[in-house]
Chains A and B, each alone.
Chain A
Amino acid sequence: MSLMLEYWPWWVGALALTAVAVGYFYSLGLPCGVSGVFGRIVDWREEAKAHQTELAMARNAGRLQEQMMAEALAALQDLPEEERRQIEAEMRAAQAEESTSTEASTVVRPHPAAQLAFLLAIAAGGLLAALSSGRWQIATTMGETYTSFFGSGPVAWLVLFAGGMCVGIGTQMAGGCTLGHGITGNSSLQLGSFTATAAFFGTAVVASFLFMVLL
Chain B
Amino acid sequence: MSDNTRNAFALKIAFGVLLGFSLSRIGFSSYDELHKMFVFADWRMFFTFAGALVLTTLMFQVVLRRRFKVSRPIHKGTVLGGILFGLGWALAGGCPSIPLVQLGEGKVLALFTVTGIVAGVLVFRFVQRRYLRWDVGSCSV
B-binding residues in A (CB < 8 A): 7-11, 13-28, 31-32, 34-40, 42-43, 55, 103, 108-111, 113-115, 117-130, 133, 135-146, 156-179, 181-193, 195-205, 207-209, 211-212
Contacts and interface: CB of A to CB of B under 8 A. Distances in A.
A149 to B, nearest CB: 9
Nearest to A146: B31
The B contact surface, by secondary structure, is helix
Contacts of A161: 112-113, 115-116, 119
B106 A139 contact: yes
Contacts of A211: 35, 90
B48 A10 contact: yes
Given A175-B78, A199-B83, A168 B121 contact: yes
Contacts of B72: 175-176, 181, 185, 188, 190-193, 196
B120 A172 contact: yes
B17 to A, nearest CB: 4
A157 B112 contact: yes
Given A13-B48, A36-B141, A178-B94, A203 B83 contact: yes
Given A123-B104, A170-B82, A182-B53, A16 B110 contact: no
